[in-house]
């Protein structure tokens, strides 16, 4: 499997890359900053310089050509203003969707956020961020791709436990980025997770068990 990850130098993306590579799979990491290429190579990924904020869908399609799946793990970052929430978190995700369609990539995993299910109306940066994520999610859900949307709760850099709770209803709490990456990795190999919106937090079940339980409740 070849997985193309938008936002390839992000914290979740690099953890996911390392999991994929450890399992013998290939990763193409899309990055804005060429200086990050060495880090991706060290993780075992193929770096591809492609600024999804400014690149068009046709250019992105060329970069992801040949991939079996794409993962949107990009973001404008906590220090950015409201405008970049639209241009990266929403528009970047939608351009990746258009590119996936153009490149014939069926599988699309979206790293979204708790709160995107009912985003607030405020003008503060976080409210805008959640509305941008909600609109990106809606575009993906309306598409013809084999999509899965994962909405983690508050993210931490704690060491992962490999144990989570996954649910189709919003959750509250925290979850290590390590465990979010493990959930994404598991979803990439579970076709039954397609066309699902799922939430994740720290929990008691191994990831594969938690995912299977959540999917069983959807059927």
Half-sphere exposure of 23 (CA within 13 A, CB side): 15
* 199 is annotated as an active-site residue: no
Please list the alpha-helical segments (H only) found in the chain.
11-22, 37-43, 57-64, 82-84, 91-103, 125-141, 177-188, 207-218
Q: How far apart are CA 84 and CA 207, in angstroms?
A: 33
Chain CA centroid to CA 160, Å: 18
Out of 129, 150, 153, 210, the active site residue is 129
Annotated catalytic residues are 129
């Amino acid at each position: 499997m070849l997985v193309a990850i938008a936002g390839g130098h992000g914290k979740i993306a690099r953890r996911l890359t390392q999991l994929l590579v450890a399992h013998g799979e290939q990763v193409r990491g899309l990055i804005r900053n060429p200086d990050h290429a060495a880090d991706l190579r060290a993780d075992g990924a193929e770096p591809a310089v492609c600024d999804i904020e400014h690149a068009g869908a046709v250019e992105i399609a060329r970069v992801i050509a040949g991939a079996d799946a794409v993962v949107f793990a990009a973001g404008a970052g906590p220090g950015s203003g409201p405008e970049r929430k639209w241009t990266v978190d929403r528009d970047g995700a939608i351009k990746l969707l258009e590119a996936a369609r153009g490149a014939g990539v069926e599988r699309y995993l979206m790293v979204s956020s708790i709160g995107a299910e009912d985003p607030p109306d405020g003008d503060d940066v976080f409210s805008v961020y959640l509305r941008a994520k909600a609109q990106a999610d809606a575009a993906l859900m309306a598409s013809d791709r084999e999509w899965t949307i994962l909405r983690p709760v508050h993210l931490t850099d704690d060491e992962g436990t490999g144990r989570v709770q996954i649910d189709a209803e919003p959750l509250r709490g925290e979850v290590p980025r390590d465990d979010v990456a493990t959930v994404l990795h598991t979803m990439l190999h579970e076709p039954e997770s397609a066309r699902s919106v799922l939430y994740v937090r720290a929990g008691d079940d191994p990831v594969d068990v938690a995912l299977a339980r959540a999917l069983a409740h959807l059927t």
